[in-house]
Amino acid sequence: MPMLWRALLICLCLAQPAQACRTALILAMDVSNSVDPGEFRLQIDGLATALRDPEIAEILVRDQVALSVIQWSGVDAQEVSLDWTQMLSPSHVQLFANAVQRLPRAFVMSNTAPAEAMNKALRHFDRGPDCTRRVIDMSGDGTPNAGGKVGPIRRAAERAGVTINGLAIEGLGRAITNYYTRNVITADGFVETARGHRDYARAIRRKILREISTVFG
């Protein structure tokens, strides 16, 4: 991410002491070869718009939610694109959303290896704040064509008390939704379906709201 935005986020975090965090949420975005440049733009614009949504922004600040963004693709292609940032004020939310919208794509022409992405996200909690809940938001538009099995990682998440939810970006049918439901999400998780990348903004807003809401938490 641009150094200016990184510096602004760090300054905001240091400006006031961290408060009780209800949810640590990792937003893990699929940027594999099946995602073209226009679809990548729809994802980051949709995520930024969702974070700026007044209802979501209010909950993020109220519950001092900690956010981080991971871009993932093939076996050796996972990047922490935005590190842990606790939403202590509306300014934190706005700056984080701005940073999301300016993210450069981390990988191109790479495979789809969700097991490695899930493992990267699970280990990333070791660097995060001490929050009541820990949630991984896995989004993707395809099933695996590389990497290991997701089952052991899902079970490790369950043992650690981490929830994994899925956002399945479908073309036709429900193949990806079914895959995420059967293989990716934890027992306490859920899958949100987007009907193509143009539906991503609606789906990610609904998904984040459900993940951070006290009604569903």
User: In Å, how far from its chain's centre is CA 49?
Assistant: 14
Domain ranges of the chain: 29-212
Backbone phi, psi, residue 112, to 5°: -115, 110
CA distance 134 to 121: 11
**Residue pLDDT tens, the chain, 217 long:** 555 555 555 554 444 555 689 999 999 999 999 999 999 999 999 999 999 999 999 999 999 999 999 999 999 999 999 999 999 999 999 999 999 999 999 999 899 999 999 999 999 999 999 999 999 999 999 999 999 999 999 999 999 999 999 999 998 889 999 999 999 999 999 999 999 999 999 999 999 999 998 644 4
29-212 belongs to which CATH class?
alpha beta
Backbone phi, psi, residue 132, to 5°: -65, -45
CA distance 200 to 176: 14
DSSP class of residue 182 equals I
